[in-house]
Amino acid sequence: MNNTLILYENDSVEINNVLNKINEVISNSKLHQVNDELVDVDNYSNIAVTISMEDENNFNLYKSLRDYNIDFTNKKLVIICIGSTKQDVIKHITEIKEITSKSDLYYHFINTKYEKLENIINAAINIKRYIEEPKKYKKNH
């Protein structure tokens, strides 16, 4: 089954609006706040981790990823960077690579201050394409 779990920490209206749009585009997906208990993670073939630059260190997100102890071996990993630039988020991508032991991942940057709804939907479409056809989409933007 090709389904996606979208993990996020920051619960701001802006982040929720972006994630809800992404969730609508990606079929068979579920949003999950990292402070909640995670069950049935093995049932997901794709994990999307949301990095919010509103929370500079994303401490709870990283702690939860470590505590969940997810086996990412056979899962596709997507990193959704919201409210950030490439330079700001490289350290976060490196941290997630270390936690997950995954080097093959897809990431997408969404700057909520400048992105229009159409661009957010296009980002969601690109994420969906990666999930469905990972060999065609390695890294983007």
The H-or-E segment that residue 82 falls in is strand 76-82
Neighbours of 24 (CB within 10 A): 11
Q: pTM for the complete prediction? A: 0.84
pLDDT tens-digit map of 70-98 = 888 889 999 998 876 667 778 888 889 99
Model pLDDT, residue 61 = 86
Cα angle 14, 90, 117; round to 5: 30
Side chain identity, residue 79 = I
- pLDDT band at residue 60 using 50, 70 and 90 as cut-offs: confident
CB proximity list for 97: less than 8 A, separation 6 or greater:
103, 105
* Whole-number Å distance between alpha carbons of 78 and 41: 15
pLDDT tens-digit map of 105-115 = 888 888 776 66
